[in-house]
A = this chain, B = another copy of it.
Amino acid sequence: MDDLRPEKLYEQVKTYLRTGIAAGTWKAGEKIPSEFELMERLGASRMTVHRALRELSAEGVLLRVQGAGSFVQPPAPRSPLLEIYDIAEDITRRGHVHRAQVLALDSRPAGAEIAVEFSLRHRTKLFYSEIVHFENEVPVQLEERYVSPAFAPDYLAQNFTAITPNRYLQSIEPPHEVEHIIHAGQPDARVQRLLQLAAHEPCLCLLRRTWAKAGPATRSLLTHPGSRYSLGSRYKLADFNARPG
């Protein structure tokens, strides 16, 4: 499972800087060492260091000013919203530690509402998983997921502390169609406890449904603490102006 190949050199440079920023070696707004300095310190060529810095700049981690230097950008609170983003990836990219706690992983009859969504007869069985995701041991997401057995027959045999359901399902077959619905809600007592929410703290709920070519595949309700998590995206529109016809 693990990728044993060594990280590419430019990736090593990126990791070096990212962990340094996460560790507070360089704080937001501060200047990081110059390309030349990093080149000597890390033993890579300037072009390799340059590439690493350019990519970090494109990712919004750094702001580079020609003639002046490279500066740490304040972290943009973001998760690519409409992509099938993976929360574990998201957390580790921020340089934090991700842990998943599996509360349930079984097969259970679909309730009326769920059955309709999956175009199944009432009480037909579906796979179900319930996982709490922690960022630095703070709960940031409750994931309640129904999966069609026809789509992922081996779902129950997976170890979801090692690989997220998201990533596992993606590896089977990328979805053909996706739906996202976002709303703000008041958690019930159980959710409040699982996410360690303060009294009356709202939560941000993201309902994501996916379809494979064969039919409905998954239905996940992702609940986040309102005060500790936000969804975001930022992108350039420039490229979409020129269109044929």
Contacts and interface: CB of A to CB of B under 8 A. Distances in A.
A173 to B, nearest CB: 8
Given A18-B242, A24-B244, A185-B202, A234 B180 contact: yes
Interface in A206-245: 224, 226, 229-244
A126 to B, nearest CB: 21
Nearest to A61: B239
Given A59-B239, A239-B176, A240-B174, A181 B22 contact: no
A58 interface: yes
Interface string A167-185: 0000000111111111111
Interface in A12-55: 18-19, 22-24
A interface secondary structure, majority: mixed
Interface string A45-83: 000000000000011000000000000000011110110
- Interface residues on chain A, size class: 35 or more
A136 to B, nearest CB: 19
Contacts of A200: 186, 200
A18 to B, nearest CB: 7
B81 A178 contact: no
Nearest first, the 7 A-B pairs at minimum CB distance are: A202-B202, A184-B226, A183-B230, A184-B184, A181-B232, A179-B234, A184-B204
